[in-house]
Structure 1
């Protein structure tokens, strides 16, 4: 019974290349504090904002930041994105840029986050983070609508102070909102 419960508390946190990527550290830390097992995948752009080394320390596991890294490491499938896809029970993509959302909507799999998403059958939460003009662009809205029709849950964004200094829509929801959505999706008691 405990093993089944633990198996259902496995979350893949995917991190996109938005300045809000630093908030992924708090998401990972808080999920682990709540006894959720966390693994991390990052886009190359995300590594410009936070390092795989930091996320490895916070998650306690190797971070998938390079599509080809797993090919030289002993893993079940020889490729980390396939192992992560088989392992996780929920995908939670934070700091999702307009570019990452577009690639997910189009079914592209050219990095650790999108390739894992394509191989994964687990539900997905996405927390977008971008400037207002990018969020409001018809292409971004159409891409989000496409993802929603596939069962993806979009968390925000909200109105607030953006990286540009402007107050507008596009700010990523706060980590506690993301953690609460993960708990709800997993059926984990708040605590």
Structure 2
């Protein structure tokens, strides 16, 4: 497959599950570019994703001052799909309101490829009317929003807000990359 998928990892406990997703996507020869928010690096290290993809992980706009191309613009031109997983309430709000204050959020604003948003958060956060409104804004803008799963969440609570199974996210990525199938 000559397709490039951007994987945007934000700062939620489910960030570690995205390593499995990236591993599965690499097995079918997709080009994977991982971008991480600063908060995401507290849950899983960039080294994990670098090892899985063979590429440097992008964590900030200014990591290499010698680089000619502006990262988020150059990358936006290459992507066939952008996946935000886990998508925290904070990052969903940034996307819904066009806030571009880090490398991942600036890429979202510059991006024209389809976007898959995979929310993952505490049930109370997910059910908050503000979060629901922000997800509706993203859907109205043409973003593909997966429903979170129900089950055991961090802190031992049970409810809706869990990251969907990696197999389900993988299936949705395949559907978006190959809409005729």
Cα distance change on mapping 1:38 and 1:189 into 2, 3 Å: farther
1:82 aligns with 2:80: no
Could you tell me how far apart the structure 2 residues matched to 1:188 and 1:25 are? 25
1:169 aligns with 2:160: yes
Deviation at residue 98 of structure 1 after TM alignment: 0.3
Asked if 2 retains the 8 angstrom alpha-carbon contact of 1:158 and 1:173, the reply is yes
Cα distance change on mapping 1:61 and 1:188 into 2, 3 Å: farther
Deviations 1:142-191 (CA, angstroms, capped at 9, x unpaired): 0000000011111121111101111101001011111111111111899x
Deviation at residue 66 of structure 1 after TM alignment: 1.2
Residue of structure 1 in register with 2:48 after alignment: 54
Deviating 4+ runs (over 4 angstroms): none
Could you tell me how far apart the structure 2 residues matched to 1:73 and 1:27 are? 32
Cα distance change on mapping 1:143 and 1:61 into 2, 3 Å: same
Asked if 2 retains the 8 angstrom alpha-carbon contact of 1:64 and 1:81, the reply is no
Could you tell me how far apart the structure 1 residues matched to 2:154 and 2:180 are? 34
| TM-score between the two structures when normalised by the length of structure 1 | 0.90
Deviation at residue 74 of structure 1 after TM alignment: 2.8
Deviation at residue 123 of structure 1 after TM alignment: 0.5
Residue of structure 1 in register with 2:142 after alignment: 151
**How many positions carry a matched residue from both structures?**
181
1:133 aligns with 2:127: no
Gaps of 5+ in 1: none
Residue of structure 2 in register with 1:121 after alignment: 112
Report the aligned-residue RMSD: 1.6
Gaps of 5+ in 2: none
